[in-house]
Amino acid sequence: MTVPTKPPYGNAADSASERAPGEPLHSPVIDWFDEHARDLPWRRPEAGAWGVMVSEFMLQQTPVNRVLPVYEQWLARWPRPADLAAEAPGEAVRAWGRLGYPRRALRLHGAAVAITERHGGDVPTDHAQLLALPGIGEYTAAAVASFAYGQRHAVLDTNVRRVFARAVTGVQYPPNATTAAERRLARALLPEEPSTAARWAAASMELGALVCTAKNESCHRCPIAAQCAWRLAGKPAHDGPPRRGQTYAGTDRQVRGRLLAVLRETHGPVPQAALDRVWHEPVQRARALDGLVADGLVEPLPGGLYRLPLS
């Protein structure tokens, strides 16, 4: 594939000629996906739009193998948005377990309440209505509209961005944060037909997750290796800003996780002394607890007690 000197950026109304750069990629990637896609519960028809939405919240910055057991338990307990909305938000935090970034649980609960109140308990099909739900950003709205309802939207997660950066732009990694240029390119690469576009979104995401990975790309297994601009250029090393690494040990995130673990395991208020035992450094421990309170993940009570939020 020839790398365009000027990216074919456009919007959903652009002409077919402006989307032509994606055409050589669609069939091989989708055919590969049809043969190699993982059998994941949120991809099955019975998952429905709610199952897709739950999976999208859980999969943000969390690998599939950690999500699977929590997802299954979540859908067994709350098979519809109204079931979750009827519970206290603290129960969502409790059920979230150790998936990390527990504010996602509160956001998912908030979305379930809004779906119940505004849409009769059914996840809306309209992209704008999805985007208007609390806790739903550009990516999640596009993913639900695409994967649950077969609509035509650019779905840009980390894996898709990496595939496009390498195959089309010819660089090893995309920018640290999604750019407007990436969004325009993704729209330009979309197939015309909505169901094909939805399949393309899922297929390019799976390709990034299984083959065109961040550290150990398997070009010999890639269906578009012969067209990949980065491979054809000799795989030049990344020369942009340093890529952000994630640390956990000793951070406030670790302390927050330990504090929340105590609260999740106890049904009822927890005394300050029980929380003090989970971390030796009092200043960091207090800062982490204050952050949990500020984020709405923990409610302070009179008498030095704490609990998961009830409202």
87 catalytic residue (yes or no): no
pLDDT of residue 142: 98
Extents of the domains making up the chain: 39-149, 158-233, 252-307
List, in order, residues 6 or more apart from 308 with CB less than 8 Å away.
88, 89, 90, 91, 93, 94, 263, 264, 297, 298, 299
pLDDT of residue 26: 97
Q: Does residue 244 have a pLDDT over 90?
A: no
> Confidence class of residue 246 from pLDDT cuts 50, 70 and 90?
low
* Mean pLDDT, residues 251-276: 94
Q: What pLDDT digit, counting tens, does each position of 139-184 carry?
A: 999 999 999 999 999 999 999 999 999 999 999 999 999 999 999 9
HEC-encoded secondary structure of the chain = CCCCCCCCCCCCCCCHHHHHHHHHHHHHHHHHHHHHCCCCHHHCHHHHHHHHHHHHHHHCCCCHHHHHHHHHHHHHHCCCHHHHHCCCHHHHHHHHCCCCCCHHHHHHHHHHHHHHHHHCCCCCCCHHHHHCCCCCCHHHHHHHHHHHHCCCCCCCCHHHHHHHHHHHHCCCCCCCCCCHHHHHHHHHCCCCCHHHHHHHHHHHHHHHHHCCCCCCCCHHHCCCHHHCHHHHCCCCCCCCCCCCCCCCCCCHHHHHHHHHHHHHCCCCCEEHHHHHCCCCCHHHHHHHHHHHHHCCCCEEECCCEEECCCC
Provide the CATH number for the domain formed by 252-307 in this structure.
Answer: 1.10.10.10
User: Among residues of the chain, what percentage have pLDDT more than 70?
Assistant: 92
**How far apart, in whole angstroms, are the C-alpha atoms of residue 33 and residue 224?**
12
pLDDT of residue 7: 35
Q: Which CATH number fits domain 39-149: 1.10.340.30, 3.20.20.70, 3.40.1190.20, 1.10.10.10?
A: 1.10.340.30
pLDDT of residue 125: 98
**How far apart, in whole angstroms, are the C-alpha atoms of residue 269 and residue 260?**
12
* Mean pLDDT, residues 245-269: 90
**How far apart, in whole angstroms, are the C-alpha atoms of residue 46 and residue 151?**
18
pTM above the 0.85 mark? yes
Q: Does residue 82 have a pLDDT over 50?
A: yes
Identify the active-site residue in 56, 91, 217, 299.
56
* Mean pLDDT, residues 204-214: 97
Q: What pLDDT digit, counting tens, does each position of 274-298 carry?
A: 999 999 999 999 999 999 999 999 9
pLDDT of residue 172: 96
Strand partners, 270: 306
Q: What pLDDT digit, counting tens, does each position of 121-138 carry?
A: 999 999 999 999 999 999
Mean model confidence pLDDT for the chain:
92
